[in-house]
Chain A
C-alpha cells in the first residue's frame, strides 16, 4: 500500500470514530492498516503529524494522537 492511500484510510477511520473520542493510542492505528508492520504505521503516523494532519497529545508518560484541531486545544486550556 502506498503512503498516500494509507494516510487516506487513517483519516477516514479517525473521522468515523471522532464522535466518541478525539485521541488514540499508536496501537489503534495498527488496526486501521492490518497488513502493515507496526514500524511502518508509526512512520506514516509521524509523517502525518509533520504534515499537520494529525497532532500529538502527551501526558508526559504516554502519547496519544488525533486529528489536528479536534478535542481540547491549547486555546481551551485557558491559553492563546
Chain B
C-alpha cells in the first residue's frame, strides 16, 4: 500500500498519455522491493514522499519546495541545484532533494552500457528518478542529499569520464544536433564545434561568469532540429553561400511520381499525386523558384534558407558547396518581455577546424564582453539587445550593419546619425547653409 494517499495525482494517470505519476509509482515500488539488493544511500522511500509532497502541492495550490541553496561540488559553481522540502516532518525522504545536471554526450549518442553505469550510480546514491532530457539538453538527476553530491561527482568523473552540466549564471551545457554523423544536410561538424567550445569555455561552464544564464546551441542546417534559433542566446546555424545543388533528372523523377516526396514520410496519407508547383514552387517564402520546360529554376540570391524544397526533394536538391554557419543572438523563453527569436548577427562565417574556430571564438568573446559590461543583473542577452538596440551590439562586435540585419525594411523611418558620421559634425554654419537651402 502506498505511503501517502494521492487521489489528485491518481486522476492524472487517467488521461490518454503516458503519465509521470505512473512512472514515479513504479520507481517507488521497485525501491520498496529492492530486488537488486541495492544499499540505498538516501531514504528508500524518497519517491513515496515525493508523490506525497506533490499531492499536497496540488491540494494547496502552492509549492512545498524551498528555493535554491548553497550546495554544490568543490570547485564548481553550477551543475547542482539545491532543493529542500518545507515540510520535512511529513516527508522526511525528500527533506533535501537536490537536482544534479549531467552534461549530455554530443548529439545525445550513448551506449546502453553508459546508461546502465549512470543508473547504477543514481539508484545507489540518488532517487533513481531522471529527466531524459531537460530543456537545455542535460541528463537531469532528480533528488539526492548533500552528502551524496561529491560521491556522485567523483564516480562520474573518475569512472565514466563524465562531467556535470551548467546551471545558474553560467554558460549552460552546449547542445547540438547529430550533424555530419548522420545527416546529409549538415553544413558544418556540429559535434566538433560543440565539443571544442565546451572544452574552451570550461571556466564559464562551471563557474558563474555572467549576469544570467547563457546558452549555445548548434544546428547543422536551417531545419534547426535543436531549435537553436528559439532557445539559445547564441545560435550557430549551418548555411551555404553559393547555390543549392540541383539534379534536374532527379527533379523529373519526383514530378513523374517515381520518387516519393519527403523521403516517403507522407506516403500513407491520401495526398494525391505530387504537384511540384503547388507543393514546392508556389509556397517558397521568397518566391525564388520556378518550374518551366521541365526544369526547376532557383534565383539563389533570394533564397532565405527555409529548407522546404530540399526537404521535399532530397534526392534532387542538396545544400550548397561553400558551407559555413550563421550566428544568431538573443533568443529566450518568456520570463521577462515575452519570448524572442534569435536575430542575425553574423550572416556567414566559416567553421574552420584548422585554426580551432578562432573567428567564431572572437565573435563569442566580444558578445560576452559587451553583455558582462552593460547587462543588468538577470538580464538575458536578448533583453539587453532590445534595451540598447541592435546597432550597439554591432558596434561592440565590430560588425558593419548590412541589409541582412534588417528584418522588416522601412518599419522604422528614424535613423540616428552620430556626430562623427556626418561631414562637419553638428556645428555647421546655418547662414552658409541657408544660402543654398532657402526656407
Q: Which residues of A contact B (CB under 8 A)?
A: 25-27, 37-39, 42-43, 46, 49-50, 55-63, 65, 72-74, 77-79
- Asked if A63 and B84 sit within 8 Å, CB to CB, the answer is no
Please give, as numbers and ranges, the residues of chain A lying within 8 Å of B80 by CB-CB distance. Answer: 58
Q: State the CA gap A78–B146 with chains docked (Å).
A: 12
User: A65 to B208, Cβ gap below 8 A?
Assistant: yes
Complex-state Cα separation, A63 to B72, whole angstroms: 12
Contact at B96–A56, with CB atoms within 8 Å? no
> Closest approach, in angstroms, between the C-beta of A11 and any C-beta of chain B?
18
B211 touches A74 (CB 8 A): no
Does A56 contact B68, Cβ atoms closer than 8 Å? no
Q: Would B168 and A56 count as touching, CB distance under 8 A?
A: yes
The A-contacting residues of B in range 365-380, CB under 8 angstroms, are 368-369, 372-373, 375-378
Are the C-beta atoms of A56 and B377 separated by less than 8 Å? no
Among A26, A37, A43, A50, the residue within 8 A (CB) of B211 is: A26
Return chain A residues, CB-CB under 8 Å to B82. Answer: 58, 77
CB pair A78–B70 under 8 Å, yes or no, is no
Q: Is the CB of A60 within 8 A of B373?
A: no
Q: Which residue of B lies closest to A61 (CB)?
A: B213
A-B contact pairs, 17 of them (CB 8 A): A25-B169, A25-B211, A26-B209, A27-B211, A27-B376, A38-B369, A46-B77, A46-B208, A57-B69, A57-B70, A58-B72, A58-B77, A58-B81, A60-B99, A65-B208, A77-B96, A78-B84
- Among A39, A56, A73, A77, the residue within 8 A (CB) of B72 is A56
Q: Which residues of B contact A42 (CB under 8 A)?
A: 207-209, 372
Q: How far is the CB of A67 from chain B (nearest CB, A)?
A: 12
Chain B's nearest CB lies how many Å from the CB of A38? Answer: 4
Measured between alpha carbons, how far is A39 from B370 in the docked complex, in Å? 11
Main secondary structure of the interface of A (DSSP, over half): mixed
Task: Establish whether residues B69 and A62, one from each chain, have CB atoms under 8 Å apart when the complex forms.
Answer: no
Extra contacts, 13 of them, besides A60-B68, A61-B213, A63-B169 (Cβ < 8 A), are A26-B169, A27-B377, A50-B75, A56-B70, A57-B68, A58-B82, A59-B68, A60-B167, A62-B169, A65-B208, A74-B70, A78-B95, A78-B96
Do residues A77 and B78 form an inter-chain contact, with CB atoms below 8 A? no
Asked whether A62 and B168 contact (CB < 8 A) given A26-B211, A27-B377, the answer is yes
Which residues of chain B have C-beta atoms less than 8 A from A79's C-beta?
Answer: 84, 95-96, 145-146
Instruction: Please tell me if B392 contacts chain A, counting CB pairs below 8 Å.
Output: no
- B372: which of A38, A50, A55 is its contact (CB, 8 Å)? A38
Cβ of B294 to closest chain A Cβ, rounded Å: 57
Complex Cα spacing A28 to B146, Å: 28
Cα–Cα distance between A50 and B73 once the two chains are bound (Å): 11
- Give bound CA distance, A77 to B55, whole Å: 22
Contact B372 A63 (CB under 8 A): no
CA distance A74 to B203 in the complex (A): 25
For residue B67, CB closer than 8 A to chain A, the reply is yes
Partner of B373, one of A38, A55, A62: A38
- Least Cβ–Cβ distance between B90 and chain A, in angstroms: 12
Taken together as a complex, chains A and B put the C-alpha atoms of A55 and B68 apart, in Å, by: 14
> What is the bound-complex CA distance between A64 and B373, given in angstroms?
17
Is B191 in the interface zone, CB < 8 Å from A? Answer: no
Q: How far is the CB of A31 from chain B (nearest CB, A)?
A: 12
Known contacts A38-B372, A78-B95; is-contact A61 B168 (Cβ 8 Å): yes
Residues of chain A with a CB closer than 8 A to B377's CB = 25, 27, 62
**Are A62 and B77 neighbours in the complex by a CB distance under 8 Å?**
no
The residue that B71 contacts in the complex, of A26, A49, A62, A74, with Cβ under 8 A, is A74
Q: Is the CB of A77 within 8 A of B207?
A: no
Q: Which residue of B lies closest to A38 (CB)?
A: B372
A42 CA to B378 CA, complexed, in Å:
16
How distant is the Cα of A39 from the Cα of B378 in the complex, in angstroms? 17
CB within 8 A of B77: which of A39, A56, A61, A78? A56
Q: Is the CB of B211 within 8 A of A73?
A: no
Contacts of B68 in A (CB 8 A): 57-60
Q: Which of B95, B146, B208, B373 contacts A56 (CB under 8 A)?
A: B208
- Using A46-B207, A78-B95 as known contacts, say yes or no to A63 and B168 having CB atoms under 8 A apart: yes
Are A39 and B167 neighbours in the complex by a CB distance under 8 Å? Answer: no
Once bound together, how far apart are the Cα atoms of A64 and B146, in whole Å?
Answer: 19
User: What residue in chain B is nearest A79 (Cβ atoms)?
Assistant: B96
Q: In the bound complex, how far is the Cα of B88 from the Cα of A46, in angstroms?
A: 33
Alpha-carbon distance between A74 and B96 when the two chains are bound, in angstroms: 10
Query: B228 at interface (Cβ–Cβ under 8 A)?
Result: no
